[in-house]
Amino acid sequence: MDAGTRSADTLVAASGVRVTRSGRDLIRDVDLTVRPGEHWALLGPNGAGKSTLLAVLGATGHPSAGTVDLLGRRLGRVDVRELRERIGHVDPRHRVLSPLTVLETVLTGVTGTTDLMLRWTPTAEQAAAAEQHVADVGLTARRDARWPVLSQGERGRALIARALIAEPRLLLLDEPATGLDVAAREHLLETVDALRHRHPALGSVMVTHHLEDLPASTTHAMLLRDGAVVAQGTADEVITSSAISHAFDFPLAIVRAEGRWAARRAS
């Protein structure tokens, strides 16, 4: 099979990936396969390489060595703009420069811009889709509220709707619970769980520092330490006391209740 058109049944196929900057390996020898319906967590301490790997998976960063196939296309042999249109990216640091409403923010996902394009008008289908995605993340009552007055949790849910309006096959979530209080975090994670159930063919990768920020729908996990993979596989196999303690170089006891994980210092 030609490397430029790998199986579309695999959303991510990364092999031997290394990213080097200023003579230092930020990640090395990373292998990762993500299939439809799989929801991966990238875990590890600060500086482990999580954000570097996520940038490669979003086609905004390129490997120094190794191969990366995204949505069946090989990085380096395809127009990355085309790939980015089919990959949803949720980043709580997303900048909205104009005081857009929730609905307008979601519509910018159609054009892939940070603001509404001049002289651009959504089609009836696009407008209806935006309304539906706003409803799906529980923001119908706030559809006309403007960005500056939204809470951090409302912004996070709006950005998820913005990412999904382009109907991506792969969704990347970069610490989506950053800055949220406990109630807003729980609302956000319930939203993520519901969306994953609503879109069974969607695959996703989430970066987080905290196990408490993982949705119950997480299926797989990868642990990184100093740029190298120390464990990967199903969530139950990887998110264990021994593996997490090794990755963070600290004695931790991991418990799972009602599908959610929590960590505390091991006694």
Cα 108 from Cα 100, distance rounded (Å): 10
Provide the 3-class DSSP secondary structure of residue 39: strand
pLDDT digits (tens, 9 = 90+) for 135-169: 989 999 999 999 999 998 999 999 999 999 988 99
- Per domain, the residue ranges of the chain are 3-86+168-265, 95-167
By mean pLDDT, which of 23-37, 118-132, 217-231 is the weakest?
A: 118-132
| pLDDT band of 53, cuts 50, 70, 90 | very high
pTM of this prediction?
0.89
Cα 62 from Cα 80, distance rounded (Å): 10
What's the confidence (pLDDT) of residue 8?
Answer: 55
What's the confidence (pLDDT) of residue 2?
Answer: 42
In this prediction, residues 86-113 reach a mean pLDDT of: 88
105: tokens are: 């923010």
| pLDDT band of 4, cuts 50, 70, 90 | very low
In this prediction, residues 112-136 reach a mean pLDDT of: 87
Mean pLDDT, rounded, of the chain: 90
Is the pLDDT at 1 greater than 60, yes or no? Answer: no
Nearest to 42 by CA among 252, 264, 254, 247: 247
Is the pLDDT at 13 greater than 90, yes or no? Answer: yes
Does the 3-86+168-265 domain belong in CATH 2.130.10.30? no
Q: Which residues pair with 204 in a beta bridge?
A: 39, 171
What's the confidence (pLDDT) of residue 114?
Answer: 78
Higher-confidence position of 115 and 190: 190
Cα 245 from Cα 239, distance rounded (Å): 10
pLDDT digits (tens, 9 = 90+) for 232-266: 999 999 999 999 999 999 999 999 999 999 999 99
